[in-house]
A = this chain, B = another copy of it.
């Protein structure tokens, strides 16, 4: 049995949608057991009995947008997030899924779960939709500014193993986010990373990729430092949101337009769903001793279920161990 800890109190629609997502996962996935960490009274209206569902009472929740996430975790050890993270550290649970505050989850994961021995830096790697029908991994989206070229090689290995084992891509390809496609473009760090990627036999590096191809990427993984990839992720989000708002506004203009809009509703819903990262799952934090998945803060049951499914896949495929084996082997060369 794969044991998954759920931070039931984190997220815009917690605990309702988190619990609904967990129940859906239990129904659809046979080899998982789920433990909800949360406030029993608040969870009660949404709970159903299930032989593979357990509950651990927690006290409090880490607030969103906490200015000092490390302090937030340290002073809330009984919160649903902190207790769920601790259960992974203690190997009571194999994975944790949380829709809670991102920076607190990263800080908490460092403190309470701990880093892999083989990786010096963690990275956040959401899996995003493309216009091509297949998703891609974008990392490091976490805003980690303190990066060295060799850390990015480790992160690239993690993403490669993840794409292969969890996304089912046979030979995952890797592109470096840059301002031009030619070799030699970009900053010093980009050129150093380019050289390391190119020389590494365990990576299928295709070279520089300009973000004007971000929804039609010629590879399965797009990588940059934590500042740049975070900027890319937020620009995708901002553009998609802005365009969505403009589209809605324009489409509902005039009588013909309104009629057209009604007829197109089904198609527009499918379009919206295709653009939604929730269809794919959450963002995994790479580089930790345990499996930590950040689901979107705005997750509804379906999105949260997808994040749980993803967590189970990562555990089932033994991703962390496989990544460590590659990095260790390279270190010995």
What sequence of 0s and 1s flags, for each residue 57-69 of chain A, a beta carbon within 8 Å of any chain B beta carbon? Answer: 0000000000100
Given A235-B232, A262-B260, A270-B253, A243 contacting B242 (CB threshold 8 A): no
Most chain-B Cβ atoms within 10 A of its Cβ — which of A215, A231, A236? A231
Chain A, range 258-309, C-beta contacts under 8 Å to B: 259-268, 270-271, 274-275
Are B131 and A245 in contact (CB-based, < 8 A)? yes
Asked if A145 lies at the interface with its beta carbon under 8 angstroms from chain B, I say: yes
Whose C-beta in chain B lies nearest to the C-beta of A247?
B271
Whose C-beta in chain B lies nearest to the C-beta of A182?
B67
A211: chain B residues at CB < 8 Å are 231, 234-235, 237-238
Asked if A230 lies at the interface with its beta carbon under 8 angstroms from chain B, I say: yes
Asked if A250 lies at the interface with its beta carbon under 8 angstroms from chain B, I say: yes
Asked if A227 lies at the interface with its beta carbon under 8 angstroms from chain B, I say: yes
Asked if A228 lies at the interface with its beta carbon under 8 angstroms from chain B, I say: yes
Whose C-beta in chain B lies nearest to the C-beta of A228?
B231
Whose C-beta in chain B lies nearest to the C-beta of A130?
B242
A182: chain B residues at CB < 8 Å are 67
Closest-CB distance, A74 to chain B (whole angstroms): 20
Asked if A212 lies at the interface with its beta carbon under 8 angstroms from chain B, I say: yes
Are A250 and B232 in contact (CB-based, < 8 A)? no
Are B186 and A212 in contact (CB-based, < 8 A)? no
Given A67-B182, A264-B261, A266-B256, A250 contacting B274 (CB threshold 8 A): yes
Are A179 and B243 in contact (CB-based, < 8 A)? no
